[in-house]
């Protein structure tokens, strides 16, 4: 089986001396291509640090992290930026939209970073908004959109350049149940149609049923897979 992510003995700490905090303690994780995997566990256990390492926005200290066939530790910083722009999509809890840009322009940003002409990129952004049910909001600014609409814009932005891996940090925790299901349905569709791999950090038990697998983290390590029985009684 091909893997989108293979982590072996990955460590990460912050600070020095007495202020040194260990975030990851020898992580071992494999994520098959085309799978939606969720990381669960208590706040501060290293989930966000781990997906930041996998996405190439944070360098790990020791161990091996192979993502989409690339050893991240062997990349230069410039190469990592280029690789990330092509291969990785991001969805965050706080949306991170640019307030001065319309919805279509926000969605088009990844394409423009990759060198697409703005006019073409924005037209494709509008098409992607139609896919997430926001065809009538292409010219709206983020402040004119509801939270759920802003998150769908953020999802469209993450998908527009057809990345091989999408990392999501609490994508539904700020949304009502109906909007959360809509967002997860869109992401689930990408897994089925495009073979995209999704890695999702979440405390939101409402979306567990969308996962192909759920991995439990605690105190900087991967403890193992979450069983169906554990899911029924999971405390988040």
pLDDT at residue number 235: 46
- pLDDT digit string (tens) for 17-26? 778 899 999 9
Phi, psi of 3 (to 5 degrees): -115, 140
Provide the β-strand partners of residue 38: 200, 214
Tokens at 71, concatenated: 């050893």
Do the Cβ atoms of 203 and 41 come closer than 8 Å? no
- pLDDT digit string (tens) for 123-158? 999 999 998 889 999 999 999 999 889 989 999 999
Q: Which residue has the tokens 């279509």?
A: 104
Do the Cβ atoms of 53 and 72 come closer than 8 Å? yes
- pLDDT digit string (tens) for 169-178? 999 888 888 8
Looking at residue 227, the DSSP 8-state letter turns out to be P
Is the pTM for the entire model greater than 0.85?
Answer: yes
Name which of 66-70, 100-104, 186-190, 224-228 the model is least confident about.
Answer: 224-228
Mean pLDDT value across residues 204-213: 91
pLDDT at residue number 46: 94
pLDDT above 70 covers a percentage of the chain that reads 95
What does the domain layout of the chain look like in residue ranges?
33-57+75-232
Tokens at 190, concatenated: 């990408």
Class of domain 33-57+75-232: alpha beta
- pLDDT digit string (tens) for 58-82? 999 999 999 999 999 899 989 999 9
- pLDDT digit string (tens) for 82-97? 999 999 999 987 888 9
How many residues belong to the chain?
236
Mean pLDDT value across residues 185-194: 85
Tokens at 118, concatenated: 């703005």
pLDDT at residue number 236: 44
């Amino acid at each position: 089986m091909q893997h989108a992510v293979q982590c072996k003995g990955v460590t990460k700490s912050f600070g020095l001396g007495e202020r040194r905090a260990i975030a990851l303690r020898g992580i071992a994780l494999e994520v098959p291509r085309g799978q939606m995997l969720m990381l669960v566990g208590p706040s501060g256990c290293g989930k966000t640090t781990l997906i930041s390492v996998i996405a190439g926005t944070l360098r790990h200290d020791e161990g091996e992290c192979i993502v989409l066939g690339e050893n991240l530790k062997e990349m230069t910083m410039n190469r990592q930026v280029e690789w990330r722009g092509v291969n990785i999509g991001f969805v965050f809890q706080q949306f991170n939209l640019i307030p001065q840009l319309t919805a279509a322009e926000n969605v088009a940003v990844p394409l423009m970073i990759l060198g697409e002409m703005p006019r073409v990129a924005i037209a494709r952004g509008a098409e992607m908004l139609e896919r997430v049910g926001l065809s009538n909001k292409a010219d709206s600014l983020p402040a004119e959109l509801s939270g759920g609409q802003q998150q769908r814009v953020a999802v469209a932005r993450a998908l527009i350049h057809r990345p091989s891996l999408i990392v999501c940090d609490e994508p539904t925790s700020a949304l009502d149940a109906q909007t959360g299901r809509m967002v997860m349905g869109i992401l689930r569709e990408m897994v089925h149609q495009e073979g995209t791999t999704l890695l999702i950090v979440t405390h939101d038990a409402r979306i567990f049923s969308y996962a192909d697998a759920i991995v439990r983290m605690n105190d900087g390590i991967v403890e193992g897979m979450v069983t169906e029985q554990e899911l029924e009684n999971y405390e988040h």
